[in-house]
Amino acid sequence: MDLVLPVVIVGLLGLAFGVMLAWLAQKFAVETNPLVQKVEQVLPGANCGACGYPGCSGLAEAIAQGKAEPDSCPVGGPEIWSAIGKLIGKEVNNLEGKKAVLLCQGGEEVAVSQAFYQGVEDCRAASVLNLSFKACRFGCLGLGSCQKVCPFEAITIDPDNRLPIINLAKCTGCGKCVEVCPRGVLALVPNREQVLLACQSLDKAREVRRICQLGCTKCRLCVKVCPEEAISFAEGRIHIDRQKCNLCGKCLEKCPVGCLVKFSPKGGIVTYQREKSKEKAGVTT
């Protein structure tokens, strides 16, 4: 009897607390929108935060409440955007995914180095004083900030030229690498074949020739040769209108330094010289 009574008391207390907790849970329960759960199930579940919300659950709630668009998840891609659009009854106009590309070819063998860098292996730290161990103040620093921040391990640093290599199969277009790059040489572009300017320098032609073999010298031959008038020169840089460009390749042939390149969803960045060498060798891509 000395043991039975305490056991009975503890059991009754446990039962009472259980009933009370069940009542409190029901009394103060927060009603959840079933649409939120459905949207979250469609989302990729990466929880990378590239959408600007705290994980996929936060984005799902925002989409269900009409505060975010169905294509707000950059990782999702057209299929997921379309599926979410059907769930919430909203048409998705943007069904073209994006990929990250490097708009700089100034590797160690191409661009001039003016100092030896010793410090934190971080591009932001190296550029905090607006100084550079590379002579080009617009070029890629190659210290791997983009590699470290990529949640999908889609970026590696080439050990030979110290430039990022982007694995397009792994890249989701989340944009984290673009955000972290202090030089702005990483960009998100539509995942389709197109011509790009792989140089962000605003320096004059003489300075560009001195510090980089593949830098744009603003000769504007591409502007003159383009039959569709898709290329223009403004604010010290070449601009390409992707809507007008028909991929004729005349600008790639005419560019004397090779700073204009072609982007392919399968092959990535392809220079005119590389493409010609493959044609001569009988290699098809």
List pLDDT tens digits, range 206-244.
Answer: 999 999 999 999 999 999 999 999 999 999 999 999 999
Residue 280 pLDDT: 46
Residue 39 pLDDT: 92
For residue 71, pLDDT over 50 is answered with yes
Which H or E run contains 124? helix 123-126
Q: Which domains does the chain have, with CATH numbers?
A: 34-88 (1.10.15.40), 98-281 (3.30.70.20)
Cβ-contact 239, 103 below 8 angstroms? no
Q: What is the mean pLDDT of residues 90-96?
A: 82
Cα distances from 273 to residues 68, 140, 230, 253, 276, in angstroms, run: 44, 22, 22, 9, 5
Tokens of 37: 């759960």
Residue 182 — very low, low, confident or very high, per pLDDT cuts 50/70/90? Answer: very high
Q: What is the mean pLDDT of residues 132-144?
A: 90
CA dihedral 108, 109, 110, 116 (to 10 degrees): 40
Give 211's contacts (C-beta < 8 A, 6+ positions apart): 111, 112, 134, 135, 136, 203
* pLDDT digits 0-9 by tens, 151-169: 999 999 999 999 999 999 9
For residue 284, pLDDT over 60 is answered with no
Amino acid identity at 64: A
For residue 285, pLDDT over 50 is answered with no
Cβ-contact 42, 83 below 8 angstroms? yes
Residue 144 — very low, low, confident or very high, per pLDDT cuts 50/70/90? Answer: very high
Cβ-contact 146, 156 below 8 angstroms? no
281: left (phi over 0), alpha (psi -120 to 50) or beta: alpha
Residue 131 pLDDT: 64
**CA–CA separation, 268 and 153 (whole Å):** 17
Flag whether the pTM goes above 0.95: no
For residue 283, pLDDT over 50 is answered with no
Strand ranges in 92-218 using DSSP code E only, listed in sequence order: 98-102, 155-157, 164-166, 186-190, 194-197
